[in-house]
């Protein structure tokens, strides 16, 4: 399995996050990926090939995110440390938040304080605070001086994984009918909580949305996104809510972060009606062996009733392993063998589409959450093992 990965993620290394009124150690740490890479390389059951991403530039990111947001992310750390202050080595996060549906459609962030040289410092400080609260929606999405480089590179990993599948699929001798066409993008920071112009839940750029949009724009793809992270993929949902391509399907814990979305009656709007599918799982149904069976039965139904009939030409999986029963942030009762079953169920669905369409369905796995640093490498590797076997 080819794995797209770069060490640039090390530049994004916040020390702490604000969680429900307390400052706690940051969960979304560099050793999530470093440990996972070690585990994949050591894996004896499957060989993983580490590849550095290609640089596709800013254009595919601009196809998903607004220019003002991208511009803001690039300068957010400098702007905050300049006008608000604080220890620049610890990372910055807002202390006020825009609630946009209350602020109404004409709400807007103040202009850059850099351009307001005639205003007193304290007023410019207010601008900087308001801007951070406009673009970042919680206290867990922390920006360091060099975070942009990590954020940008994570998106390039997803794009590289997608482009690699295109090449593999159109090679002069495409892989044989029953050989899997797949790749894995080890993205950090993750992406599925990032909206067009808002960052949240450790996410800034929506890596999987950028890859999906690229496949649609450059390769005329019909894309299905299956999100199996513990948390609802609210950013991905929002970006594609009024569209019929890609299909977005999410299985997640009910009433956890992001707290307000991911209900079954969120099904898309306009042209997108019916192309967003949510299955929230009640926490009390997700304990022990029965819980794990319930999870797999629900996942299988989703794949067979929604992903397969869509007949995607590419499948993109938001792979969060924070469903692991020991995960310190999530935890939805899944065991390590359960992850292999996730991979196998996805592959079974892909084979059905391949049989029906007589075309291969290249599948890109994009890492989202997973915070149990000692186990996530093995869990990721089990998903891939289930998929390729």
Cis peptide leading into 258, omega within 30 of 0?
yes
Taking CB positions, which residue lies at the least distance from Zn ion? Answer: 369
Residue 12 falls in the annotated catalytic set: no
Nearest Cα neighbor of 43 from 382, 388, 387 is 382
**Residue 193 contact, options ligand Q9C, Zn ion, none, Cβ 5-8 Å cut-off depending on partner type:** ligand Q9C
- Build a one-symbol-per-residue string for 353-382: x at contacts with Zn ion by CB under 5 A, - elsewhere: ----------------x-------------
Nearest Cα neighbor of 275 from 303, 240, 308, 304 is 240
- The number of angstroms, rounded, from the C-alpha of 11 to the middle of its chain's C-alpha atoms is 19
Q: Is 231 near Zn ion (CB under 5 A)?
A: yes
**Cα 297 from Cα 196, distance rounded (Å):** 33
Q: Is 199 near ligand Q9C (CB under 6 A)?
A: no
- Of the pair 182, 206, the CB lying nearest ligand Q9C is at 206
> Which one of residues 79, 163, 229, 292 is an interface residue with ligand Q9C (CB under 6 A)?
229
- Build a one-symbol-per-residue string for 333-372: x at contacts with ligand Q9C by CB under 6 A, - elsewhere: -----------------------------------xx---
The residue range among 4-12, 168-176, 221-229, 308-316 that interacts with Zn ion, by the rule CB under 5 A, is 221-229
Q: Is 230 near Zn ion (CB under 5 A)?
A: yes
Active-site annotation holder among 9, 12, 65, 193: 193
The residue range among 138-146, 315-323, 340-348, 349-357 that interacts with Zn ion, by the rule CB under 5 A, is 315-323
**Cα 36 from Cα 375, distance rounded (Å):** 8
- Of the pair 56, 202, the CB lying nearest ligand Q9C is at 202
Which residues are 92's β-sheet partners?
143
Residue with tokens 């399907």: 249
DSSP state of 115: G
29: left (phi over 0), alpha (psi -120 to 50) or beta: beta
**Cα 130 from Cα 205, distance rounded (Å):** 20
The residue range among 30-38, 64-72, 143-151, 200-208 that interacts with ligand Q9C, by the rule CB under 6 A, is 200-208
The residue range among 52-60, 79-87, 201-209, 267-275 that interacts with ligand Q9C, by the rule CB under 6 A, is 201-209
For the record, the structure tokens of 180 come out as: 């899997």
Q: Find all residues with CB under 8 Å of 117, minimum gap 6, and list them.
A: none
| DSSP SS3 for 134 | helix
- Distance in Å from the first CA to the final CA of the chain: 12
Give the binding site for ligand Q9C (CB under 6 A): 19, 140, 190, 192-193, 201-203, 229, 231, 257, 320, 322, 329, 368-369
Give the binding site for Zn ion (CB under 5 A): 229-231, 320, 322, 369
């Amino acid at each position: 399995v080819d794995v797209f990965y770069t060490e640039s993620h090390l530049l994004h290394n916040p020390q702490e996050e604000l969680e429900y009124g307390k400052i706690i150690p940051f969960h979304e740490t560099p050793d999530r990926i470093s440990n996972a890479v070690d585990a994949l390389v050591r894996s004896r059951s499957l060989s993983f090939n580490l590849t550095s991403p290609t640089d596709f530039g800013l254009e595919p990111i601009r196809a998903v995110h607004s220019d003002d947001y991208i511009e803001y992310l690039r300068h957010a750390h400098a702007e905050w440390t300049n006008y608000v202050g604080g220890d620049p080595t610890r990372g910055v996060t807002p202390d006020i938040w825009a609630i946009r549906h209350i602020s109404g459609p004409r709400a807007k962030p103040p202009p850059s304080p850099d351009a307001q040289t005639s205003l007193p410092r304290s007023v410019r400080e207010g601008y900087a605070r308001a801007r951070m609260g406009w673009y970042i929606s919680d206290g867990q999405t922390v920006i360091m001086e060099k975070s942009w480089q990590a954020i940008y590179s994570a998106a390039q990993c997803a794009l590289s994984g997608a482009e690699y599948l295109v090449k593999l699929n159109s090679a002069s001798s495409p892989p044989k009918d029953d050989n899997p066409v797949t790749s894995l993008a080890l993205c950090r920071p993750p992406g599925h909580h990032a909206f067009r112009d808002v960052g949240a839940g450790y996410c800034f750029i929506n890596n999987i949305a950028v890859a999906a949009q690229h496949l649609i724009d450059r390769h005329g793809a019909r894309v299905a996104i299956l999100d199996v992270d513990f948390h609802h993929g609210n950013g991905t949902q929002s970006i594609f809510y009024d569209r019929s391509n890609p299909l977005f399907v999410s299985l997640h814990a009910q009433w956890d972060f992001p707290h307000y979305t991911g209900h079954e009656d969120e099904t898309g709007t306009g042209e997108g009606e019916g192309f967003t599918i949510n299955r929230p799982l009640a926490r009390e149904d997700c304990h022990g062996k029965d819980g794990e069976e319930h999870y797999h039965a629900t996942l299988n139904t989703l794949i067979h009733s929604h992903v397969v009939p869509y007949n995607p030409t590419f499948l993109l999986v938001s792979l969060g392993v924070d469903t692991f029963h020991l995960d310190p942030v999530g935890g939805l009762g899944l065991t390590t063998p359960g992850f292999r079953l996730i991979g196998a169920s996805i592959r079974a669905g892909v084979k059905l589409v391949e049989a029906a369409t007589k075309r291969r369905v290249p599948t890109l796995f994009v890492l989202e959450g997973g915070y149990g640093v000692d186990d996530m490498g093995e869990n990721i590797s089990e998903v891939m093992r289930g998929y390729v076997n």
